[in-house]
Amino acid sequence: MNTQKHVCPLCDYIYDQTRGDPVYGIAPGTSFDSLPEAFRHGDCTATIDMFETCTCASLAFDEVTGGAPRFSQKDSIQEIFDRYPAAIDVFKMHGVDVEDGCLFSVRHLPIEECTELCGVEDLDKIVNDLNASLLPDLSVQSGKRSLGELVAENANRAKVFDEYDLDYCCGGKVSLEEACCKNGVDLEAVLLRLQECDRLEPTENSFDNASLTDLVDNIESTHHKYLKDELPRLEKLADKVARVHGARAPQMVELAYLFRNLKEELVQHTLKEEMVLFPYIRRLDSEAITRPAQFGAVVNPIRCMEAEHDDAGKALVKIRQLTDDYRAPGDACGSWLALVAGLESLDKDLRTHIHKENSILFPKAVSVEERLILV
């Protein structure tokens, strides 16, 4: 039982006093008892006295990731207002008088269909500004949030964490403050870079609002396919470089052995996901689950997958060391150059892959299962 969180019985909206509600102007730390009696979430008709103290099984995905709603040209003006009343100021900033009676009859249409009526050609700019206005103010308090949570909210932040060598994939559960302390990095400097990134970079698809099925499909079609294509090629290159250059570069012999083990582990890992875990997660989307699977709660195989992710992350660290941060010597042959370039690409893809699972897919699967069945 979490007395700091309260859930609406009609729309499942969760109010967390530690986060407040920036969309409705409620500051972090505002207790539930301090909310005005007239408080409403969107167009929900539930009154404040109807909210109930939240239980773990009630947590929604946005609650787990801290994700804010994202808008596109497919959303109607009315939908945007219902979810984010402050959007009126963004539209007015672009010269769109959304309170004008002429627009009232078409507010239910996607905003991409309102171009002529609104007199605005650059609808992408409106959408980008709407989403930018949803981004939370990154204060020192943001240091208490996990690296995975921050990247799940805005995928572009991964670039900043890469700059400071902060592990947001296998180390995604660690708070930003703790990660900075461990790596000897100034927290305020990182927060400033994150703010710059949020303002200047268009927000990449963070998948925080994707369905479980869409997430699994994306991981399989993008990252699993990448591994199936690249691992055999890189293994051949690593063996060739070790065989030809191992006498003068013994680290490449060690690399070939390490990569061979990593490849076998990743092949078995993806097979277990595709044969056992992912089919069950897809079933969660159908809401046909009434009892736990044979492996018990979904958190059980997830713990196994996360442990294997940690092993892969450690292997990547060792590979970076053995290749001098993916730098080949000046007289390296074509195979050596191709190997180093391929390993660097593998490192980047695998870290994104692990982040999607550890910080987005897995928390959402646990939350959905808890909502469907008490495990």
Q: What is the mean pLDDT of residues 18-38?
A: 75
CA pair distance 364, 12, nearest whole angstrom: 15
- For domain 140-200, which CATH number applies: 1.10.3910, 3.40.390, 3.30.70, 3.30.2310? 1.10.3910
**Cα atoms in the Cβ-side hemisphere of radius 13 Å centred on 28:** 10
Q: Where are the domains of the chain?
A: 2-58, 77-134, 140-200, 212-372
357 in Cβ contact with 272 (< 8 Å): no
* Three-state secondary-structure class, residue 61: helix
Question: DSSP class of residue 10?
Answer: T
Lowest mean pLDDT among 75-79, 158-162, 205-209, 255-259: 205-209
Q: Which helix (H) or strand (E) holds 227?
A: helix 225-245
- For the domain made up of 2-58, the CATH class stated in words is mainly beta
The whole-number pLDDT of residue 208 equals 66
Same fold, 2-58 and 140-200: no
- Report the phi/psi class of residue 360: left, alpha or beta, with left for phi > 0 and alpha for psi in -120 to 50: alpha
CA pair distance 283, 365, nearest whole angstrom: 10
Q: What angle do CA 268, 307, 250 make, to 5 degrees?
A: 70
Could you read off the pLDDT of 183-238 as tens digits, one per residue? 888 887 888 788 777 766 555 556 767 789 999 999 999 999 999 999 999 999 99
**pTM tops 0.85, yes or no:** no
Residue given tokens 């990731």 in the structure block? 65
Could you read off the pLDDT of 245-290 as tens digits, one per residue? 999 999 999 999 999 999 999 999 999 999 999 999 998 887 666 6
